[in-house]
């Protein structure tokens, strides 16, 4: 019986990925870190650099856990079942999913700051996405940066 439970847990990790990125609790922790970070500790790589750093099989990167700031074009946005907003941002041929809490709700949608085609600057904490995610990393606890 123990083996069956173990097999079930391992299977769930493989299906959902081994990281809780995008979860409500992780997003809350990341939001706090992002809001308190000193300007000198913010990394500003482009999305291609981030992708390359997560390209190893073990999904480790020097940017894991780092607070990242980047700009790009909004491709899409959505609301998750956990009342988190995801915003997909594109730079050249690369993209990243940024996870926001509900405080961004008034800024999303047609003609607002975060709408399809808008150029935005975001700040968030970088994490590996998980085993079967289409992106190798996400930014959690994101906030919009006023330029």
For Cα atoms 97, 17, 48, give the angle at the middle one, nearest 5 degrees. 35
| Amino acid 58: pLDDT | 61
Question: Using CA atoms, how far apart are residues 87 and 42, in angstroms rounded to an integer?
Answer: 20
| Amino acid 131: pLDDT | 65
pTM here?
A: 0.81
pLDDT tens-digit series, residues 128-143:
887 667 788 999 999 9
Q: Please check the confidence at residue 114 and state whether its pLDDT lies above 90.
A: yes
Helix intervals (H) in 54-118? none
| Amino acid 126: pLDDT | 96
What is the sign of the dihedral through the CA atoms of 133, 135, 139 and 142? negative
pLDDT tens-digit series, residues 2-54:
444 433 333 333 333 344 445 889 999 999 999 999 999 999 999 999 998 98
> Which among 50, 51, 53, 64 is positioned nearest to 21, based on CA atoms?
64
| Amino acid 79: pLDDT | 94
| Amino acid 23: pLDDT | 85
| Amino acid 111: pLDDT | 85
Q: What is the bridge-based pairing of β-strands 67-79 and 85-91?
A: antiparallel
With a pLDDT cut of 90, the percent of the chain lying above it is 65
Q: Where are the domains of the chain?
A: 19-144
Phi, psi angles (nearest 5°) of residue 103: -65, -15
> Which among 11, 9, 143, 135 is positioned nearest to 61, based on CA atoms?
135
Architecture of domain 19-144: Beta Barrel (2.40)
pLDDT tens-digit series, residues 68-78:
999 999 999 99
Residue 120 token pair: 């935005």
The DSSP secondary-structure symbol of 131 reads T
Helix intervals (H) in 43-109? 47-53
């Amino acid at each position: 019986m123990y083996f069956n439970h173990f097999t079930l847990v391992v299977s769930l990790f493989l299906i959902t990925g081994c990281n809780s990125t995008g979860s409500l609790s992780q997003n809350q922790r990341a939001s706090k870190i992002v809001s308190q970070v000193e300007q000198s500790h913010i990394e500003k790589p482009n999305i291609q650099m981030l992708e390359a750093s997560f390209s190893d099989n073990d999904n480790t990167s020097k940017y894991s856990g780092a607070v990242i700031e980047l700009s790009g074009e909004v491709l899409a946005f959505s609301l998750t079942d956990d009342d988190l907003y995801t915003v997909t941002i594109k730079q050249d041929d690369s993209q990243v999913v940024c996870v926001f809490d509900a405080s961004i709700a008034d800024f999303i949608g047609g003609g607002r700051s975060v709408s399809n085609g808008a150029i935005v600057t975001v700040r968030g904490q970088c994490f590996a996405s998980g085993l079967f995610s289409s992106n190798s990393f996400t930014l959690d606890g994101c906030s919009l940066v006023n330029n």
